[in-house]
Amino acid sequence: MNTTFPLQDKTILVTGGTGSFGKCFIKKALTEHNPRKVIVFSRDELKQWEMRQSGGVFDHEKIRYFLGDVRDKERLLRAFRDVDLVVHAAALKQVPAAEYNPTEFVKTNIHGAMNVVDAAIERGVEKVIALSTDKAANPINLYGATKLCSDKLFVSGNAYVGQRGVPKFSVVRYGNVLGSRGSIVPRWREMVAAGAKELSITDPRMTRFWITLPHAVDFVIANFGRMLGGEIYVPKIPSMKILDLAEAIAPGLKTNPIGIRPGEKLHELMIGEDDARHSLEFDDCYAIAPEAVASRRMASYDRLRGIGGRVLPDGFTYMSDTNTQWLDVAGLRGLLAGIGMDGQPIPVVAGATR
């Protein structure tokens, strides 16, 4: 197993490949990991065209652009032919939109996940990592509920692979991505650039987990090298206060609390007390072992402990307001210095730490 360069000489497919994560992952893969081929799978022809026209690595000879929707299993079967690794990043993710369009979120986030699992098994893909969210832990909104269901589908997928032992399915769960498309950072920056006299915030007490796009990409790549199948990986990342983020973006600008949106939490949770009972700690992350281990090939609590996982204390939770790592205003400004107006990383990230 190549744990240092797990993407080397592999054919990789990224669902939702034109999104913020997909573009950052593909750039990193092609410039640092020497894959055989990278397939961008997404449903929007304009975004694919714009991505290719942006030039540089996105017009690389190893890239293939493949139009399709994860709701369409037949199209996935065609796309997954001779693919080694899949990153499932396609999802509908806007919390308020989910509350008013629940069936659309179910079709993409749940039925789409089922299709990815089935297509990967039928095509004999080696490994699949699905991207999750902190909102899938003890969900209170429709989006989080669909992603929790998706997580369960990918974990359970390991029970259906038969004697071949592939694919291995695992999940990566992390918090808000600093500067990703549609997030608060680009929106506030646009408001400031337009001369806004105040920033609208939901609640001044709010806290969130935060991760940069490069960190999220590195974490996914690392997990391709160590995954056993069935575990949910949660990175150790800092929290921040919404008021500190506002101050970092617009020093001294007045904030206007407008109240929490439908389906939104005051603080985010990534590992609840119930999950913690079958979770283990590693130096850079936590790993949630599957509750039901249906195959000896799957990750289990004992297998994860056997490769260095440390037992968590009774009553442990991983929550944004009780986190031990925090970003202050200065730290947030350092990270934001490396985020462009489009949410993509720019070459130099001043003050960023791992």
pLDDT of residue 163: 77
Q: Is the pLDDT of residue 108 over 70?
A: yes
DSSP states along 176-228: EETT-TTSHHHHHHHHHHTT-SEEEES-TT-EEEEE-HHHHHHHHHHHHHH--
pLDDT of residue 184: 82
Task: Read off the tokens for 353.
Answer: 């730490």
Q: Is the pLDDT of residue 198 over 50?
A: yes
12 vs 8: CA distance, rounded Å: 10
Sorting pLDDT into bands at 50, 70 and 90, what band is 111? very high
29 vs 17: CA distance, rounded Å: 12
Q: Is the pLDDT of residue 308 over 60?
A: yes
Sorting pLDDT into bands at 50, 70 and 90, what band is 341? very low
- Average pLDDT for 218-240: 97
- By the 8 A CB rule, do 254 and 193 touch? no
95 vs 32: CA distance, rounded Å: 34
Q: Is the pLDDT of residue 346 over 50?
A: no
Model-level pTM? 0.91
Q: What is the pLDDT of residues 312-328, one digit of tens each?
A: 999 999 999 999 999 99
Q: What is the pLDDT of residues 127-160, one digit of tens each?
A: 999 999 999 999 999 999 999 999 999 999 999 9
Q: Domains along the chain?
A: 11-174+213-236+270-316 (3.40.50.720)
Q: Is the pLDDT of residue 231 over 90?
A: yes
pLDDT of residue 181: 67
**Which residues lie across from 67 on neighbouring strands?**
42
Residues with a catalytic annotation lie at: 135
CA dihedral 69, 73, 79, 82 (to 10 degrees): 150
- Average pLDDT for 197-213: 92
Q: What is the pLDDT of residues 22-76, one digit of tens each?
A: 999 999 999 999 999 999 999 999 999 999 999 889 999 999 999 999 999 999 9
pLDDT of residue 337: 79
- For tokens 């990592």, what's the residue? 129
218 vs 150: CA distance, rounded Å: 22
pLDDT of residue 295: 78
Sorting pLDDT into bands at 50, 70 and 90, what band is 185? confident
pLDDT: which is higher, 189 or 123 = 123
298 vs 154: CA distance, rounded Å: 12
Q: With both helix axes pointing from N to C terminus, report the angle between 242-249 and 184-193 in degrees, rounded to the nearest 10.
A: 40
Q: What is the pLDDT of residues 1-14, one digit of tens each?
A: 456 689 999 999 99
Sorting pLDDT into bands at 50, 70 and 90, what band is 348? very low
210 vs 325: CA distance, rounded Å: 10
pLDDT of residue 272: 96
